[in-house]
Amino acid sequence: MSLENELRRLDIATLDLILKRVVDFPDAPRVTLLLEGGHQLQGLPLRVERGMVLLHLVDAPSRAEVAYVPLTAIKALGLRLAEPHLAPLSSGRIRWAEGEAPGRLQLERQALEVGAASRLAVTLDWTRIPDEDEARWIIADTMAILARLLAGWAEDASARAAIEARIDGLRLGCGVKAGAAIEGRELVITVDRSPEEDGLRKEMERCL
């Protein structure tokens, strides 16, 4: 994959979540904080809490110089990334690091809700869902997108008829390569990361 495509996968998140993730890196990248009035600070973020960033000003004359920067004063954030930084900043991992991943029972309930709303059986293929927080977040995000897509199609008579003519249900799992395919009366959806809504919609429409 080209560097440009790798960069496209970087998460869009609030500055505080990005900075908190960067702080956790064993070899944190330098950051540039663009502040109000056109000012900027460069350094290594050490801690983010209580609405403040503790920034080590590594290029300052004193080796122990730091700055306390309010998050509200930061207008933009620049990151000087190396290749090892890309994966931890991609595919929803920032948000995954911030909260407890949904459990298996919670995901099954979510699948039932999506299925009931769409009148399609939504099945989670646990043989293809690793017992990992990352995988469970991917499945939760994918079902949230599916719920929106299916709700929109339900309001379109032609789309609803096309779906009912081809499938009775959806089966969802993880894999190395994302995609969708019809197997019998099921649309089997494979995800490798939290999908973009437009991309998932196009992949499903291709099959249906």
Whole-number Å distance between alpha carbons of 145 and 35: 35
Lookup: tokens for 69: 């920067």
Q: What is the pLDDT of residue 165?
A: 93
pLDDT of residue 6 exceeding 80, the answer is no
Single-letter residue type at 181: A
Question: Residue 201 burial (CB < 10 Å; 0-12/13-18/19+)?
Answer: middle
Domain(s) labelled CATH 2.30.30.100 in the chain stretch across 3-96
Interval 20-78: pLDDT, tens: 888 888 888 899 999 988 899 999 999 999 899 999 998 888 888 999 999 999 999 99
Task: Name, in order, each residue with C-beta under 8 angstroms of 97's C-beta and a sequence gap of 6 or more.
Answer: 20, 21, 24
Q: Which of 98, 125, 129 is nearest to 13 (CA)?
A: 98
Interval 137-157: pLDDT, tens: 899 989 999 999 999 898 888
**CATH topology for 3-96?**
SH3 type barrels. (2.30.30)
Whole-number Å distance between alpha carbons of 65 and 24: 21
Burial 111-128 (b: 16+ CB within 10 A, else e): beebbeebebbbbbbeee
User: Cβ–Cβ contacts within 10 Å for residue 187, how many?
Assistant: 22
Does the reported pTM lie above 0.85? no
